[in-house]
Each structure stands twice: as C-alpha cells, then as structure tokens.
Structure 1
Amino acid sequence: MSRQYSGKSLFSSRIICGDCGSFFDSKVWNSTSKYRRVIWQRNEKFKGEHKCETPHLDEETVKAEFVDAFNAILTDKDSLLEDCRLMQSALTDCSGIDTEIGQLLEEIDVVTELTKRCIAENSKTAQNQEEYTARYNGFVERYEKAKARGEELRSTKAARDAQADATGAFMFEVQELNPLTEFDEKLWLTVIDMVTVHADGRITFKFQGGTEINV
C-alpha cells in the first residue's frame, strides 16, 4: 500500500482511496486555459496491475461536501459533545500505562544491577564462559525487551495525548459554530482527520472527535 504524497495543499495527506488506502494527490487539468481545474485522484491510479475504481474529485466538490458533512454533525450538537467528552476522558486516563511503565523501569534497574554483578563475578573468578555468556545474554535480552516495551507505551501515551488534544480542539469548534454557509479553511484543518473516497462515489468524512459522516 502506498501512502506517499506530495504537494502543499490543505487537502494533501487527508484524502485517501477507499479501495487501496493510498493518498489522493492533486493534478491540474487545462492548466493554460480558462477551464483550468484542480482535481484530486489516487497517487498511483494508473500504475500497476490493480486499477482502483474510486473517482477523482475537484476541489470545489470536496469543499461543498465538507460543508454538508460538518453541518450534519451539528444537528445533534449536545450528544456529539458528550460523546467527545467521554472519548477525551478515556484517552487521558493513562493510569494503566503509567503503572506498567513504572514496573518496566523497576525491571530495567534490577536487570542492570544483575548484569553488573554478572560481569564483576566473571572478572574476579574463573567461570565456564559458555554459561557466563548465556547468563549475560539473558540479562541483555530482558533489558532490551523491557526498554522496547517502555518505548512502545510512551509512544502510545503520546499518541493518546495528541488525539485528546485534537478532540478538544474539535469540541471547541463545534461548540462555538453555527451551521456553515461556505467552506472554512481553518476549520477544515482543525476538525478533519481523514476523508475516504469510495468506488461508488460516496465520501466519508472522519472528524477528529471520531465521528464519521457519509455524503
């Protein structure tokens, strides 16, 4: 699956193909005439054996459909905001992660001390080197396993924090706004997580709060 994309447009890295998952990229049609138009299509639409059936989109269509999708989520603003609050609360509750990270830090300290003792004993007294190497490698494996798991948990926690922040920004925008009458670039950049284009022409807008609207 290709997830490479190019371009600096506000639509870059936000529109994907519902068939293969590749990002859509921009292409200019009739660039030198009055009929000039910017369209978006799958990066590798015409490459390889697999031919995706997802249609291309022009920018005006994306903007108009976004306005409709955003207005749709405002129809039940209170329920939406409550769902977002619950999600944000769940995301920020990292007590389980923090507990496991603490246990891993203790494991690292213990293994570090055991490794030092192992090395010290080997330098002071004659030992079977195969047994020493096996014991030493076992400590190293435990250390690396605990370290990798700790990094994984910290990455997970950071991602949850970022999602909680994005959800908070989304809630703020929803709470403050009335239905849109035209496309708002700042709002798009704040509230949209991903837009999926399907082969049947449907477009799914996934908002930062997790809500999905099909248009």
Structure 2
Amino acid sequence: MPKVSVIPAKQVQVINGIKDKKKKRVCAYCRVSTDTDEQLTSYEAQVTYYESYIRGKPEYEFAGIFADEGITGTNTKHRTEFKRMIDEALAGKFDMIITKSISRFARNTLDCLKYVRLLRDKGIGVYFEKENIDTLDSKGEVLLTILSSLAQDESRNISENSRWGIVRRFQQGKVRVNHKRFLGYDKDENGELIIDEEQAKIVRRIYKEYLEGKGIRAIGKDLERDNILTGAGGRKWHDSTIQKILRNEKYSGDALLQKTITTDFLTHKRVKNKGEVQQYYVEDSHPAIISKEMFRMVQEEIKRRASLIGYSEKTKSRYTNKYAFSGRIVCGNCGSKFRRKRWGPGEKYKKYVWLCANHIDNGLKACSMKAVSEEKLKAAFVRSINKIIENKEAFIKTMMENISRVSESKEDRSELKIINESLEELKEQMMNLVRLNVRSSLDNQIYDEEYERLEEEIKQLKEKKAGFDNTELIKKEGIQEVKEIERILRDRQDIIKDFDRELFMQIVDKVKVISLVEVEFIYKSGVVVKEIL
C-alpha cells in the first residue's frame, strides 16, 4: 500500500507573501437596517460590544469601528462607512474585520462575495461571528456562498413583507407624504398634513396663471423675478417643477397611491407604475389648497395645449400663452388650427388677423378659408356670452337636462349588465374546461382550441366593457364641467362690455370658423352658439 503524507494548508497571508505580524490589527463593522429608536439602541450596543471585545484580546490591536445606521443592507451603494472601511483595508491599515453576521455585512450574495474575495486577495480576513466563518479559512468560501444566499432570501422576504405593509396602508387610504419638499404643506404634531398658507398662495398663483393662459416658462420667470423660492428652497424654477405642481392631485385634497413600484429588491430601483400593479385613489385624504374643479380644468388645459397640432406635421403649432385664441380657433374647411398674423403697413394701419395654418403653409389650393379679424372675433364672443348671461337659467337647465338624459340611459345599464353576466359565464366555462382536462386528460388539440375560443370571447367582452367604463368617466367629467360653468355664470350678474380673456378661456373649448362672416363658439358644456362677424 502506498504511503500517504498530509501537507498542512497554509494561511492566505503566507501564500501571498505577507509577513505575519505579532498582533493583528482588527476593526469591526456594525449596521442596523432602520432608524427606529429600538434599532439605534441595538446599533449603539454593537459598537460598544465590539470595541470591548477587540481591546480584550491580547493578540488583537484595536483599529477602529465602522458603523452605518439606518441604512438597508441589500446593496452597498449608500453605505458610506462600509465604503470607507474597504478603502482603508485595501490601503493596508488593518488585517481583519469582525462583524456580527453575513446579513449585517451584506444581504446581497454578489456584493458579499465580491468584497470578501477582494479583501482576501490582500490577506485581509472577515470574521462572521454568528456563523463562525473566517474567510481566510479554506472552508470559508463554500460556507459563505451558501449562507450569503440564505441572507439574500431573507432580504427578499423582508422586502416583500415591507411591501405588503405599504399596500395594506394604501388599501386603508392611509397617505404618507414627505412634506419637506412639498410646496404648500407642512405636518402637525400627529404627522397629519396641514396647509402652509404662505406657500399655498404660490400654488394657487401657479394654477390661476396657467388657466389664464400663461405658459410654464413664463410662470417660472415671474416667480424668479419676485424672488419666490421652490418647495426645496431653490431660486430656480425649472419647467419640470411647475409641471409636477400642476399635475399633482394632492393639491386638490386627493392622493393617488403607488405611482411608482420597486422592480428590484436588491438595487431598490423604482419605475413609474404603468398598470403593472394596482393603484389606489384616496379622495379627501387631506386639506385641499385648490378646488377639484380647478384641478380638473388644469388637467384639461394641459391636454389641450399638448394637442395643438395643425393640418399636418409641417403645420404643427407650438403653444403660446400670449393670445387668448391660441390653439382654440379651428378651420371649418380642413380642421387645421389658426395662426395669428399682423396685417397693414406701419403702426397706423396695422391690425391682427387669424388665418388657417394649412392655408399659410400650403397655399390657396390646400385651403381657401379667408383670414378673420381678431377684433371681430372678440366682439362676436361678447355678443355670444351676453346671450347666455341674459338667459342663463334656461341655458343651465338645458345643460343639466342633457347630462341627466345621457347619465340615465337604461339601455347602457342593461347592456353592461348583460356583458358582466356573459363574462362570469365564460369564466365558469373556462374553469370547467380546465377541471375536465385535469380529470379526463382531453385531446391536446381539442383542449387548446376550446380554451383559445373562450379566451378570445372574454377578451372581446372586456374590451367592450372598458368602452362602457370610459363612457361613465366621460359622463362624470361632463357633470363636473357643467357645474363649473353653472358656478361661473351665476357669479355673473351683468352682461360684459369688453372682451374678457379669463372668462373666454374658462368656458370656451374652441371657435370654429365657418366662413369669412360666420363662426361657432363651442362651449365646454358642448353647447354651440353661432355668431355673425
């Protein structure tokens, strides 16, 4: 029998040619995951324990404590003390790191192994006290890989549990908002949102000026001119800052929850929720700075400005806030938007007219519509709105009757009921088919064909149902629109003498030019009033 001799394993330091020191320079790394009082107590206890532990070992030389508090361990991206420790280790300032457990060091397998191997190559060990693993030991790598994977699973479970708690709060309508950069709001001693009246004035000003026709850039410049600070305390009002304020439903007292979702529990990357998971809309969750009607009007104005397109891509119109008629005048011939033009030589004879963009860009053959005078358009609106003001009770009654008639359509409700019943029936058929296949093992082709047929029918019915849901939403918005117009008209006791830009923008959807002498004012309620120029 051959003779076998065992050659003892060498330490990594010896293999790498690093001289053995009399005393090991040892540091400790501590971390807690959240910033609650209990966890911070745990953090302080860890720091005290490891300093005493290292100083109490005669073979160790205390090299310091590195500690991160209130920071998650799923990645090392934001752990400043951890990064500093690694940098100092690679610079040769100590020989060993002691930490409580793998999950304290990192809950990401890749991060954990990456740093352990990086340190080991420099002859620096990491000792995980709970698992009793020394990374300079020959068995350390295998055990570390297994236990790091378990730590990563633990982190995934914690992430899922946290998300479940957040979703439960959403379902209960509990709104959590970071108020520090939230212009117009503060929090009281109970953590509830309260209005900061000084900042609220800025929010109301932004909404009001936008509805009056100002562009986002012009609003921002005026705020900067008046030395008004943003919610974050900055002097520069970026377009995106004002856009977010105008689109934020929280200013109307409501809250849309789960706007973003976390796609990776390790990197904590968040993306916009485009329907991947449920959202929750909480009405009247906190005090409102602006009315729901004003918020709705702003959202419609945002859409209107975004849709300012002329006859073709070549005649696309850029929104301008200078003129009340911008984007609102359309050609009765070709459907293009109108543009403002100056006519007449010199200041004495100048006048402004509105002309079809298709006619301007492509000539008379493309569109024969003539120019219309701006002053005549303004005078026509004054006559049109005065007719409504003088007969506002009849006008309001007609609007409400039209909305009520549409809302109370029995045919729609009956058809929607049939769709819902058919969907339930098809779903039951699909479940029965699946059960039958499990019990009797149907022919694959027959099963697939029948399943696909049911699936297609369900898809078609769902699309049809979505159309009804959209109709209901339009009806609801229509009612709100009529109520807003009713409020505006009831506030007007006397007829107007001059063109009122604010009133025009509040209640007119568009102006359709029929000919050189005739236009139609299409009000936001859907009512059309013809006028002669």
Q: TM-score, normalised by structure 1?
A: 0.80
Structure showing the higher helix proportion among its residues: 1
Q: In structure 2, what residue type is equivalent to 1:201? A: V
Runs (5+) with no aligned partner, structure 2: 1-309
Question: What do residues 104-135 of structure 1 show as CA deviations (whole Å, max 9, x unaligned)?
Answer: 33332332232233234335533233332321
Q: Does 1:7 align with 2:322?
A: no
Q: Which residue of 163, 173, 196 corresponds with 2:512?
A: 196
Q: In structure 1, what residue type is equivalent to 2:482? A: T
Report the more deviating stretch, 195-204 or 128-137.
Answer: 128-137
Tell me what 2:502 maps to. 186
Number of aligned residue pairs: give it.
Answer: 212
Question: What do residues 37-82 of structure 1 show as CA deviations (whole Å, max 9, x unaligned)?
Answer: 6543223224289532222235433322211211123343332232
Cα separation, 2, equivalents of 1:74 and 1:13: 25
Tell me what 1:212 maps to. 529
Conservation of the 8 A alpha-carbon contact between 2:518 and 2:530: no
**Structure 1 residues 127 and 36, CA, compared in 2 at 3 Å: closer, same or farther?**
farther
Tell me what 2:355 maps to. 41
Cα separation, 1, equivalents of 2:519 and 2:479: 25
Q: Secondary structure at the match of 1:183?
A: coil
Q: Secondary structure at the match of 1:104?
A: helix
**Structure 1 residues 136 and 5, CA, compared in 2 at 3 Å: closer, same or farther?**
farther
**Structure 1 residues 2 and 118, CA, compared in 2 at 3 Å: closer, same or farther?**
farther
Cα separation, 1, equivalents of 2:364 and 2:439: 65
Conservation of the 8 A alpha-carbon contact between 2:330 and 2:511: yes
Tell me what 2:441 maps to. 126
Structure whose alpha-carbon radius of gyration is higher: 2
Q: Does 1:85 align with 2:397?
A: no
Q: Does 1:74 align with 2:410?
A: no
Cα separation, 2, equivalents of 1:211 and 1:44: 24
What is the deviation of 1:157? 1.4
Cα separation, 1, equivalents of 2:379 and 2:422: 55
Q: Does 1:140 align with 2:455?
A: yes
- Higher relative contact order (CA closer than 8 Å, sequence separation 6+): 1
What is the deviation of 1:205? 1.0
Conservation of the 8 A alpha-carbon contact between 1:94 and 1:157: no
Cα separation, 1, equivalents of 2:502 and 2:405: 27
Q: In structure 2, what residue type is equivalent to 1:190? A: Q
Q: Secondary structure at the match of 2:442?
A: coil
Query: Percent of aligned positions with the same letter in both sequences?
Result: 19
Conservation of the 8 A alpha-carbon contact between 1:17 and 1:197: yes
**Structure 1 residues 50 and 120, CA, compared in 2 at 3 Å: closer, same or farther?**
farther
Q: In structure 1, what residue type is equivalent to 2:474? A: A
**Structure 1 residues 211 and 109, CA, compared in 2 at 3 Å: closer, same or farther?**
same
**Structure 1 residues 96 and 5, CA, compared in 2 at 3 Å: closer, same or farther?**
farther
CA RMSD of aligned residues (A): 3.0
Q: Does 1:29 align with 2:342?
A: yes
Q: Which residue of 487, 499, 520 corresponds with 1:172?
A: 487
Q: In structure 2, what residue type is equivalent to 1:205? A: F
Q: Does 1:161 align with 2:473?
A: no
Question: What do residues 138-159 of structure 1 show as CA deviations (whole Å, max 9, x unaligned)?
Answer: 2112111111111101111111
Q: Does 1:104 align with 2:419?
A: yes
Cα separation, 1, equivalents of 2:319 and 2:428: 51
What is the deviation of 1:98? 4.4
Runs (5+) with no aligned partner, structure 1: none
Cα separation, 2, equivalents of 1:21 and 1:114: 49
Q: Secondary structure at the match of 2:391?
A: helix
Report the more deviating stretch, 14-23 or 52-61.
Answer: 52-61
Q: Which residue of 439, 442, 467 corresponds with 1:152?
A: 467
Q: Secondary structure at the match of 2:358?
A: coil
Q: Secondary structure at the match of 1:212?
A: strand
Cα separation, 2, equivalents of 1:117 and 1:36: 78
